[in-house]
Amino acid sequence: MVDGYGVLQAFRRKAIALGAVFETADVRQVLCSAGRVAAVACADGRRFEADALLIAAGAWSAPLAAQLGFELPVRPRKRDVFVLASPAALPACPLVIDPSGVWFRPEGRGFIAGCPPRGEDVDDAPLEAIDHRLFEEVIWPALAPPRAGVRRALRATGAWAGYYEFNTFDQNGIVGQLPGCANAFVGCGFSGHGIQQAPAVARGPGRTDRARPP
Please report, for the chain, the start and end positions of each structural domain, with discontinuous segments joined by +.
4-73+169-202, 75-165
CATH topology of domain 4-73+169-202: FAD/NAD(P)-binding domain (3.50.50)
Q: pLDDT value at position 89?
A: 73
**CATH 3.30.9.10 for domain 75-165:** yes
pTM above 0.85, yes or no: no
Q: Residues, the chain, total? A: 214
Secondary structure (3-state) at 150: coil
Q: pLDDT value at position 146?
A: 53
Q: pLDDT value at position 205?
A: 56
Q: pLDDT value at position 142?
A: 86
- Give me the residues of the chain with pLDDT under 50, please: 148, 207-214
Q: pLDDT value at position 214?
A: 33
Q: pLDDT value at position 212?
A: 34
What's the CA gap between 66 and 60, in Å, rounded?
11
Q: pLDDT value at position 211?
A: 34
Q: pLDDT value at position 153?
A: 66
Q: pLDDT value at position 87?
A: 77
Give percent of the chain with pLDDT exceeding 70.
90
One fold for 4-73+169-202 and 75-165: no
Q: pLDDT value at position 213?
A: 33
